[in-house]
């Protein structure tokens, strides 16, 4: 049984791949479970390949540039496990993260996805947490969208920590075709059709550095941001209105 870890990467973030790999190698899983790492370059350059770890569990592919959501969705073609875990190229998993995600969803088949607490990894190597994380436990349907709307388009859980059932992820079409906020759009869609889980134990180091995409000027352009938020919300509300819900097969 397998967890597929999916990473979108572009040339500026490629140098962080060895650290992401090290964090994956520090994970432990129950007997019979394994991980595979699919790295998908957003583009076709010669700048990423040299940083891809030499590990039989790791595969590397390239494609036309279209942004991280497109790259991750293309990577789904090679995600053959029961679950998919997101890991951005510049981030690191904290030991135990995969095992906690897996345990939550294996214990409750009504849960479609899981997230966890995040620590910022600052340039000096120190870490910082966030106030206002929810309590550990289930995240009920519709609660993410409600919080997001009431708190300036800030979700209560971080989409960069997503762990999700592969069949549910593919049913929703993967990540949204947006230049940014594609992961938030997916999170809102998942929230519309399925209960989730939040682990209060930190599971991700979210790197803060000058080259990250969320720190670039286009990311905060008001017109584009309003458009991204509008289409993400519309999709989530439409899914909720259709009254379709995730109903897993119980073995």
Would you call 137 exposed, middle or buried from its count of C-beta atoms within 10 A (0-12, 13-18, 19+)? Answer: exposed
Does residue 18 have a pLDDT over 60?
yes
Q: Are 86 and 183 in contact (CB under 8 A)?
A: yes
For the packed helices 222-242 and 182-193, what is the interaxial angle rounded to 10 degrees? 20
Q: Which two tokens stand for residue 134?
A: 């929810």
Sign of CA dihedral 239, 146, 198, 109: negative
Does residue 228 have a pLDDT over 90?
no
Does residue 219 have a pLDDT over 70?
no
- Count CB-CB contacts under 10 A for residue 205: 21
Question: pLDDT tens across 22-67, in order?
Answer: 999 999 999 999 999 999 999 999 999 999 999 999 999 999 999 9
Mean pLDDT value across the chain: 90
Q: Which residue has the higher pLDDT, 121 or 114?
A: 114
């Amino acid at each position: 049984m397998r967890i597929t870890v999916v990473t979108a990467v572009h040339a500026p973030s490629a140098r962080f791949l060895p650290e992401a790999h090290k964090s994956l190698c520090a994970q432990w899983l129950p007997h019979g479970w394994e991980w595979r790492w699919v790295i998908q370059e957003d583009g076709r350059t010669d700048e990423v390949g040299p940083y891809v770890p030499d590990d039989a569990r790791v595969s590397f592919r390239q494609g036309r540039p279209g942004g991280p959501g497109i790259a991750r969705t293309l990577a789904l073609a090679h995600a053959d496990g029961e679950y998919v875990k997101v890991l951005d190229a510049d981030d690191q998993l904290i030991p135990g993260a995969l095992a906690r995600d897996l345990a939550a969803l294996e214990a409750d088949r009504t849960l479609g996805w899981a997230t966890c607490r995040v620590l910022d990894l600052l340039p000096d190597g120190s870490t910082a947490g966030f106030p206002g994380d929810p309590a550990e436990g289930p995240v009920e349907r519709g609660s993410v969208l409600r919080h997001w709307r009431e708190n300036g388009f800030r979700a209560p859980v971080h989409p960069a920590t997503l762990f999700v059932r592969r069949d549910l992820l593919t049913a929703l079409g993967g990540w949204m075709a947006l230049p940014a906020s594609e992961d938030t759009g997916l999170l809102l869609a998942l929230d519309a059709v399925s209960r989730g889980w939040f682990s209060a134990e930190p599971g991700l180091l979210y790197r803060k550095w000058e080259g990250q995409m969320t720190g670039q000027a286009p990311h905060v352009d008001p017109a584009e941001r309003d458009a991204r938020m509008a289409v993400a919300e519309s999709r989530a509300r439409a899914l909720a209105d259709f009254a379709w819900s995730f109903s897993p097969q119980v073995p």
